[in-house]
Structure 1
Amino acid sequence: MRQRIDWFDFARGASIVIVVALHASIELAKYDLVPERYWFFHDLTEFKMALFFAISGCFSARLAEKAWLEVVATRLYPFAVVLLLWSVIMLTYATVMPFMKQPDPQAWLVFPFIPVMHLWFVWVWLVFIIVARMTPLSARPHVMAAAILASSLAYLGFVETGVLAYDNALRFLPFFLAGAFYRDALFALTQRAPVRLALVAVPVFIGAVWLKRHADVELVANAGTTLQAVSGVALAFAIAPTASKIAGLGQALTAVGRRTLPLYLSHWIFAAIFAAAFATLPAHPALVWLAVPTVTLAAILCSFALLGAVSMTGADWIFRPKWPGHWSPSLLVARPFGLVDVRLWPLASPAQGR
């Protein structure tokens, strides 16, 4: 099952669009341009990042088959560079733009360890890749159980670090590992029994949302949030294979799902600009209802326009840096008579090798 599965892209695309809408709402809320019902929608779709990481885990299911140096060159190195580069970009942007909250000066010193703004995702993803690759096949059930326990404690409020990246790493690790470790089983379940999966997930999801919104005890409300994340991901897995075939919508979200990183990295810049622009328009009730979808769509389109522009100019490395061609991963192995260069994984492409 090595072929690309379209509905994985569709589900990831849907989740990233909801994330962009949330960040657009955060910017528009500065100007009181977000109706209360929009916040209910965001509350209803709070499982979006759990879904995103579950799908991302599915795309990382073959990590165990790859050499460490290949993982470094194709996964860890690009995302580490992206994290550092975009941290500088976002800190500079927040410092210069008058409509952005000024960052703490200490953020310039600690951003590799305490990510800024939405870049916590990249930091967490790097951690998840390392954990997934380090886990032997025989230890997967034990690591999965430990991740579920840590996630439950974080969701229920028993473990809280005060750093968004660290808390979210605990919450979302089992979702990523479920995709990375058990992708084939999850895929088979959605093929064999999507209706039964949905019939179980829907009532659990509804009950979880009710608990989260109406429970007087914080622990019970947090339990509702936990159940909502699990049942929301299960429901998405049940309906995504069919929903991805809807004409127009399916193709659009699938295309978005294949370009999530550039969109995720740059969308907040455009969301903040368009939100500030909306605030200058004459007050009108319709404006409040149109603000979030308009800013969301504009941020997505501008992010993809930026991707197209940098791709044409050869500057697309700002989104996905490539391992430098002259760096050839190898290992120097000590021998009695000196060091021997042992090639672990050839980086040269077939075209380069000719």
Structure 2
Amino acid sequence: MAADTAFDVSKQRIDWIDMAKGLTIVLVVMEHTTAGVGAALGQLPLVFGALAEFAKPFRMPLFFLVAGLFAYKALYGDLRKFVDGKIVHFAYFYLLWSVIQIGLKIAIPHASAWQVTYVDLLLIPIQPFAVLWFIYSLAMFFVTMRLLRDARPVFVFFFALALYFAKIETGWMLIDEFAWRFIWFVAGIYGAKQIFELADWAREKPLHAIGLASVMLASVAAVVFSRLVEIRGLELLMGIAGAGSAVMLVSLLAAARLGEPLAYVGRHSLYIFLAFFLPMAAMRTALVHLGVENGDLVTLLTTAFAVVTPIVAYRLVLNTPLDVFFVRPDMFRLTSPRPHTPKIMVAAGD
């Protein structure tokens, strides 16, 4: 792995990275909300259903791509810090919130066809529950790349590419998601320099960047809605196009100082990932019971509520005994405790 993937990161660069993370979590919440609203109302919302489908090729690729941008230091750093920040950190939140989510699913009656039982609790170590698969996968990516850190980048890249094109479908989420998503994490690590250069170029030539992003996003839409995205190679290209467009556009937002709300969401993305399911379900159910039949309106209000509520909850419980839901206690740390503040890559470990 080339040493030039590790370089100084300016405040402006941090801002666009936070915005990219914020965009990712909003898209994730929107996708889950859209599916839930569709199930509740009997049909997908017109606008948000299309948006969720459009963003599918690049939503999670963008997340793992950004997570890989700063992985170099962890991969080549102290082993104890690596285990603490990339294994224990993820394990704590994964286990805690898996128990919470499964427990609530068992305890609270719901109309979902997905039946949850106590067996799901026993399967937590080997079968991630709901959206929490991303935490497990990210830890696996870090461990794999730590083991492969001295391998030739070209070999690692083609190994990840081979996994992607293998279209592995075992039914075991850990294996299937690893094979499908690993290429994006690898691309974030090895392509960090080029990704930052793309963001810098966008700020230097904003009109060119907007034009290029527009063409790329139009291509994504054409491929997605023509169903050609089901072809694996085109899916990969659309992931690149969508993620590249997102990098350019959020970089422009950062340069214009127009995306601070999105950056704020990005700095709190871990808390949203962990807890959005509860306010999402509560708001969706309440609106449907109140007789709101406009699926797009329900999706919009529910998505906003599900994004904001975990941040508010985190702020309310911070420095209280309840902050264990969002801040790893010192007793579960292998290194010296750190201040309870969001990190640049909070979703990728502290």
Q: TM-score per shorter chain, which class?
A: 0.7 to 0.9
Q: How far is 1:79 from its partner?
A: 0.8
Give me the whole-angstrom Cα distance separating, in 2, the residues matched to 1:233 and 1:20.
18
Give me the whole-angstrom Cα distance separating, in 1, the residues matched to 2:257 and 2:213.
25
1:317 aligns with 2:324: yes
1:151 aligns with 2:161: no
Deviations 1:259-285 (CA, angstroms, capped at 9, x unpaired): 11111010011101111111111355x
Aligned partner (choices 179, 189, 210) of residue 180 of structure 1: 189
Q: Which runs of 5+ in 1 are unaligned?
A: 329-346
Q: How far is 1:138 from its partner?
A: 4.5
Match of 1:142 in 2: 155
Aligned partner (choices 105, 113, 132) of residue 119 of structure 1: 132
1:41 aligns with 2:51: yes
Structure 1 residues 210, 322: closer, same or farther in 2, change over 3 A? same
1:253 aligns with 2:243: no
Give the total of aligned pairs: 323
Give me the whole-angstrom Cα distance separating, in 2, the residues matched to 1:141 and 1:319.
38
- Structure-to-structure mapping, 1:194-213, within 5 angstroms: 202-213=214-225
Match of 1:103 in 2: 116
Q: How far is 1:204 from its partner?
A: 4.9
Structure 1 residues 350, 42: closer, same or farther in 2, change over 3 A? closer
Give me the whole-angstrom Cα distance separating, in 2, the residues matched to 1:93 and 1:211.
39
Runs of 4+ off more than 6 Å:
none
Match of 1:298 in 2: 305
Q: How far is 1:349 from its partner?
A: 6.6
Match of 2:345 in 1: none
CA contact (8 A) 2:64 2:181 kept: yes
Match of 2:346 in 1: none
Please tell me the residue identity of whatever aligns with 2:24. S
Q: TM-score, normalised by structure 1?
A: 0.82
- 60-69 or 292-301: bigger deviation: 60-69
Structure 1 residues 267, 209: closer, same or farther in 2, change over 3 A? same
Aligned partner (choices 38, 51, 54) of residue 62 of structure 2: 51
- Structure-to-structure mapping, 1:1-354, within 5 angstroms: 1-3=7-9, 5-32=14-41, 34-46=44-56, 47-99=58-110, 101=112, 102-154=115-167, 159-192=168-201, 202-215=214-227, 220=231, 222-247=232-257, 250-284=259-293, 287-322=294-329, 324=331, 347-348=335-336
Structure 1 residues 169, 350: closer, same or farther in 2, change over 3 A? closer
Deviations 1:201-234 (CA, angstroms, capped at 9, x unpaired): 6545433432343257x864x4433221111111
CA contact (8 A) 1:94 1:100 kept: no
- 256-265 or 222-231: bigger deviation: 222-231
Please tell me the residue identity of whatever aligns with 2:54. L
CA contact (8 A) 2:54 2:224 kept: no
CA contact (8 A) 2:37 2:295 kept: no
Give me the whole-angstrom Cα distance separating, in 1, the residues matched to 2:202 and 2:304.
34
Deviations 1:149-204 (CA, angstroms, capped at 9, x unpaired): 211333xxxx2222344322222212112222332332123313675676666545
Q: Which runs of 5+ in 2 are unaligned?
A: 1-6, 340-350
CA contact (8 A) 2:292 2:298 kept: no
Please tell me the residue identity of whatever aligns with 1:150. L
Please tell me the residue identity of whatever aligns with 1:289. D
Deviations 1:89-139 (CA, angstroms, capped at 9, x unpaired): 000111112225331443122121110111111110110111222222442
Q: How far is 1:39 from its partner?
A: 1.1
Give me the whole-angstrom Cα distance separating, in 1, the residues matched to 2:161 and 2:214.
22
Structure 1 residues 205, 348: closer, same or farther in 2, change over 3 A? closer
Greater C-alpha Rg: 1
- Matched position secondary structure for 1:30: helix
CA contact (8 A) 1:15 1:49 kept: yes
Structure 1 residues 205, 300: closer, same or farther in 2, change over 3 A? closer
Structure 1 residues 193, 280: closer, same or farther in 2, change over 3 A? closer
Give me the whole-angstrom Cα distance separating, in 2, the residues matched to 1:104 and 1:146.
37
- Matched position secondary structure for 2:71: coil
